Chain A
Amino acid sequence: DGGITQSPKYLFRKEGQNVTLSCEQNLNHDAMYWYRQDPGQGLRLIYYSQIVNDFQKGDIAEGYSVSREKKESFPLTVTSAQKNPTAFYLCASSIRDRGDYGYTFGSGTRLTVV
């Protein structure tokens, strides 16, 4: 079955540590997105990529970094510069470089600072 796989499901980070969240899709989608979700809030865009080897900052990119070396993969690194990283992170993809056909979401990674 095609879909988006996020791993790990739960991730714990120590203060000052960088961590990387994985997002892989086998839908042959062109565009991929990373969102952050805090309790009781909507989805805030961190980064997005419309094509391999290219990506753009979203609304809250500070303290995060991404890469898009393969069409299928769009990993997100939460760096030590992100002062409040505890949140639920969602990866999504869309069939083309725009959202006219909606987004497909992964099951999320819950990141907690310990």
Chain B
Amino acid sequence: GESVGLHLPTLSVQEGDNSIINCAYSNSASDYFIWYKQESGKGPQFIIDIRSNMDKRQGQRVTVLLNKTVKHLSLQIAATQPGDSAVYFCAVLSGSARQLTFGSGTQLTVLP
């Protein structure tokens, strides 16, 4: 099976700084990866995804990096804003069942 873990349960950054949230996965056959953002009391929202044939993908202020050698995934948020405060989950797709396995989430707090 797949296990997914995040390196830090909480992360605090100053407004305007860059944020980096990390995630590790166990199954080398995993081939699709997603980052979700969950604001308090709401459902997770899709931020960005990446497939295993890529090692980097950029969106608006966000970048996902995939290192398949060490089975590590990271989300970088540029110029972090107060509205970025939320819990961030990575999700990994693998296995014949083709279902997502979720990490436990990192609470990002943006300090003024």
Contacts and interface: CB of A to CB of B under 8 A. Distances in A.
Interface string B41-83: 1111110010000000000000000000000000000000000
Q: Number of contact residues on B: which range applies?
A: 20 to 34
Given A43-B89, A98-B97, A99-B100, A108 B32 contact: no
A21 B92 CA distance: 27
A82 to B, nearest CB: 21
Contact of B43 (A41, A45, A107): A107
A111 interface: no
B43 A90 contact: yes
A98 B98 contact: yes
Contacts of B105: 40-42
Interface of chain A, main secondary structure: loop
Contacts of A102: 34, 46, 49, 91, 100
A106 B42 CA distance: 8
Nearest to A33: B99
Contacts, number: 53
Q: Number of contact residues on A: which range applies?
A: 20 to 34
B100 A42 contact: no
B43 A106 contact: yes
A48 B101 CA distance: 13
Contacts of A42: 4, 89, 102-105
B16 interface: no
Nearest to B92: A99
Task: Name, among A90, A97, A105, A106, the residue most crowded by chain B CB atoms within 10 Å (CB to CB).
Answer: A105
B41 to A, nearest CB: 7
Interface of A: 4, 6, 40-43, 45, 48, 90, 92, 97-100, 102-108, 110
27 contacts: A4-B43, A40-B9, A40-B104, A42-B4, A42-B89, A42-B102, A42-B103, A42-B104, A42-B105, A43-B44, A45-B99, A90-B43, A97-B98, A98-B99, A99-B32, A99-B98, A100-B32, A100-B93, A102-B34, A102-B49, A103-B91, A103-B100, A105-B43, A105-B44, A107-B42, A107-B43, A110-B41
